[in-house]
Structure 1
Amino acid sequence: MTPLPPAADQIAPDPAIPLPPYALRMGGQHFKKDADFVNAGVRDARVLRRRAGLGPRKRVLDWGCGAGRLAIGIKHLMGNVADYHGVDIQPELLNWAKDNLTDEHTRFTLVDAHNARYNPDGEQSFHIPAEAESVDVLYAYSVFSHMLTQDVAGYGATIASILAPKGRAWVTAFVEEDVPDCVENPTDYLKLEWKGALHCVRFDRRFFEATLYDAGLAVDEFVYGRETDGQSMYVLRRR
């Protein structure tokens, strides 16, 4: 995993805000330094503020929150939002975040959903724990990049149902033009070695966007290949 470098205007880690141990920082050696980990979260909070309407009064759902990198970034950048809800299927990461970052504005939920890479024994479900039309900003960094078509379609429909009428979903995915619809661990792709279940799922861009459209989501914005390991960025809305 090769995260983007943080913005030039870095924020010094606040000693009052707990940081997860190195072993729980998704991204490994790239986040060995506390400042790098914090500013990666700050960078994404800034992106959400600029592209998805993140603000102090917003309700945020961090789908695939890990150990709370975005929550830590939000706390450093703007203190709190009205409601931050982190959701993940990896108990060790989620439980650290729940034990160390929970407060009156910040909460975490572990779900037992199946994913062949991260939770192979989980239940087959497209459930995301949120009420209908209750999410102003949904953030899913490197989540669809580890899912096949059926899951993208199923979770896409769930996202469409939980987004507020003016809400936005900010997601990343591996997409390319004029490639097969969906390939797991494509060989010789981006000069990286993909191995293990769902390490990289690459979609044809038109196919991916059509799958989301059929699920009830439309593309507001697309930026090609600037995120982790060459993923592309989408801003989505209910259609």
Structure 2
Amino acid sequence: MNQILAFSNPNEPVLDAKSEQHLDWLCQQIIANRFLPVPPEEAVFVGDGDYRAIGAEFLAHFVRRAGLMPEYDVLDIGCGIGRMAVPLTQYLDRADAIYEGIDPVANGIEWCKRTISPAYPNFGFQVQDVKNALYNPEGSIGGRGMRLPYQDGVFDFAAMISVATHLPPEEIETYCAEVFRVLRPGGKLFLTAFIIRDADELTNPGCDPRLTGFERLENQPCWHLKGENPMAAVGFDDGFIDGAMANAGFTLAAKSFGTWHGDPADHYQDFLIAEKPRRNA
């Protein structure tokens, strides 16, 4: 069974048939809408695949799996060149919701500011000069010293899509703690990762051949691709990210393994969804 943890809150909203139909329609409209911005192919640095289709896919995951609502205030960490932001412009309420995207790659942020924000003023973007061996090797801010430039408790939802896949373990802990700080009680973190359940699964015929070269660092909970930049693709022992979330104060609400393992699923990377506990009445 792919979904190994279900939502722990029995009152979590579930889409009814009409809402499911509307979400499907919206995602198809996003994919087909030629007026929505798409960056030049050579400017996209956030992975392969169809820009609009991947963004629409994740919008559907955010709504179905994590209960994202149109009025929520959203933080997109590692927003890149707007792949999550563009579909969210069609879902988030312009009057009631804000979106903030943050990334260390200045070119992506500048494209978003120039292309998205003028039409959607509730969408803000900013560069955070965090050092990363793959995306920003000359950054002025060390990953362990990273602090999100937002006040406590100002967001309802945070996304880290293909971010943990490029971070060392100690920075995962920092990011979890910072996201916990800026979320409101009841807010959710939606994080994608490569989770290594055991070394044998890397020899599974269905495993993505690009990732069968993962090797575990001695005395570390992380895995890197042999011969590549250490941050090109980072995997983690099963349970490590769960523990980092718990140490930050989160409750793990859902965890689902992706098709990169060779498992049947409707998503490629592994998903972890964590919730900041609500205050006691």
Counterpart code for 2:247: D
Superposed CA deviations along residues 29-73 of structure 1, whole A, max 9, x for unmatched, are: 533xxxxx2122111111111122222211011111111111111
The within-5 A match list for 1:45-124 is 45-77=59-91, 80=94, 82-102=97-117, 103-122=120-139, 123-124=141-142
* Contact 2:73 2:156 (C-alpha < 8 Å) held by counterparts: yes
Unaligned segments of structure 2, at least 5 residues: 1-23, 200-215, 262-266
Q: Distance in 2 between matches of 1:59 and 1:47?
A: 17
1:113 CA drift (Å): 0.9
* Contact 1:66 1:93 (C-alpha < 8 Å) held by counterparts: yes
1:227 CA drift (Å): 6.9
Q: Which residue of 2 aligns with 1:10?
A: 28
The within-5 A match list for 1:12-51 is 12-26=31-45, 30-31=49-50, 37-51=51-65
Q: Which residue of 2 aligns with 1:172?
A: 192
TM-score, with length taken from structure 1: 0.83
Is 1:237 matched with 2:255?
Answer: no
* Contact 2:256 2:271 (C-alpha < 8 Å) held by counterparts: yes
Q: Distance in 2 between matches of 1:133 and 1:126?
A: 17
Identity value in percent: 26
* Contact 2:129 2:136 (C-alpha < 8 Å) held by counterparts: yes
The within-5 A match list for 1:179-194 is 181-187=220-226
Tell me: CA distance 1:29–1:151, structure 2 relative to 1, closer, same or farther (3 Å). Answer: closer
Q: Which residue of 1 aligns with 2:245?
A: 212
Tell me: CA distance 1:230–1:17, structure 2 relative to 1, closer, same or farther (3 Å). Answer: closer
Counterpart code for 2:196: E
* Contact 1:227 1:233 (C-alpha < 8 Å) held by counterparts: no
SS of the residue 2:247 aligns to = helix
RMSD: 2.5
Tell me: CA distance 1:39–1:231, structure 2 relative to 1, closer, same or farther (3 Å). Answer: closer
Counterpart code for 1:46: A
* Contact 2:133 2:229 (C-alpha < 8 Å) held by counterparts: no
Counterpart code for 1:84: Y
SS of the residue 2:176 aligns to = helix
Tell me: CA distance 1:227–1:217, structure 2 relative to 1, closer, same or farther (3 Å). Answer: farther
Aligned residue among 215, 221, 225 for 2:254: 221
Superposed CA deviations along residues 116-162 of structure 1, whole A, max 9, x for unmatched, are: 11111111132122221111110111101111111011111101111
Tell me: CA distance 1:206–1:158, structure 2 relative to 1, closer, same or farther (3 Å). Answer: same
SS of the residue 1:116 aligns to = coil
Structure 1 moving runs of 4+ over 6 Å? none
* Contact 1:14 1:76 (C-alpha < 8 Å) held by counterparts: no
* Contact 1:85 1:108 (C-alpha < 8 Å) held by counterparts: yes
Q: Distance in 2 between matches of 1:17 and 1:186?
A: 36
* Contact 2:55 2:84 (C-alpha < 8 Å) held by counterparts: yes
Superposed CA deviations along residues 180-221 of structure 1, whole A, max 9, x for unmatched, are: 55234245xxxxxx7213111111112221122112222110
1:78 CA drift (Å): 5.7
SS of the residue 2:158 aligns to = strand
Tell me: CA distance 1:79–1:164, structure 2 relative to 1, closer, same or farther (3 Å). Answer: closer
* Contact 1:184 1:199 (C-alpha < 8 Å) held by counterparts: no
Q: Distance in 1 between matches of 2:159 and 2:90?
A: 17
How many residues align structurally? 222
TM-score, with length taken from structure 2: 0.71
Greater shift in the superposed pair: 127-136 or 69-78? 69-78
Unaligned segments of structure 1, at least 5 residues: 1-6, 32-36, 188-193
Tell me: CA distance 1:65–1:138, structure 2 relative to 1, closer, same or farther (3 Å). Answer: same
* Contact 2:173 2:248 (C-alpha < 8 Å) held by counterparts: yes
